[in-house]
């Protein structure tokens, strides 16, 4: 049997299958992201999402708060996001940020959204896995880690 680039057929097959599996873990950007009527969307009926709007108790998480100017809070949030490994800011506008967080081993992608409500001095947020059913609390844990970095 002929060897592919010096690899035996079994090794080549395993490498190809692994590459296909890992590339399939990212999913596509959901078309449900964004702000509608000053709110981020509710979480799906799966335990792999948290949101600061009170839609239901299972998915609810406290928003971030700030006391100074919107621009300073925005800059601090960007800095906080960038401190988390695997983060990438996709959309960055004055009152809305969408970031992707990619897990280091399995390359799963989670979408995290932030919406600045300057009147109430809060940053509403939503963190949701693109794929799968349960996230084993990863989205909630990520937001709490981010909360620790966020010092407006």
Instruction: Please name each of the domains of the chain with its CATH number.
Output: 30-149 (3.30.310.80)
3-class secondary structure for 66-135? CCCCHHHHHHHHHHHHHCCCCEEEEEECCCEEEEEEECCCCCCEEEEEEEEECCCCEEEEEEEECCCCCC
pTM summary value: 0.81
pLDDT digits (tens, 9 = 90+) for 17-30: 444 344 445 678 88
pLDDT exceeds cutoff 90 at 142: yes
Neighbouring CB atoms inside 10 A of 41's CB total: 18
């Amino acid at each position: 049997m002929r060897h592919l680039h010096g690899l035996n057929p079994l090794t080549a097959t395993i490498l190809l299958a692994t590459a296909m599996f890992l590339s399939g873990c990212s999913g596509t950007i959901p078309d449900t992201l964004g702000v509608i009527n000053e709110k981020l969307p509710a979480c799906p009926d799966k335990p792999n999402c948290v949101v600061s709007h009170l839609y239901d108790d299972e998915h609810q998480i406290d928003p971030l708060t700030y006391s100074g100017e919107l621009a300073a809070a925005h800059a601090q949030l960007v800095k906080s996001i960038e401190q988390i490994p695997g983060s990438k800011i996709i959309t960055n506008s004055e009152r809305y940020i969408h970031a992707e967080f990619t897990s280091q081993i399995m390359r799963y992608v989670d979408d995290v959204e932030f919406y600045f409500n300057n009147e109430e001095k809060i940053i509403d947020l939503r963190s949701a896995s693109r794929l799968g059913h349960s996230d084993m609390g990863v989205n909630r844990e990520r937001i709490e880690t981010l909360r620790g970095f966020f010092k407006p």
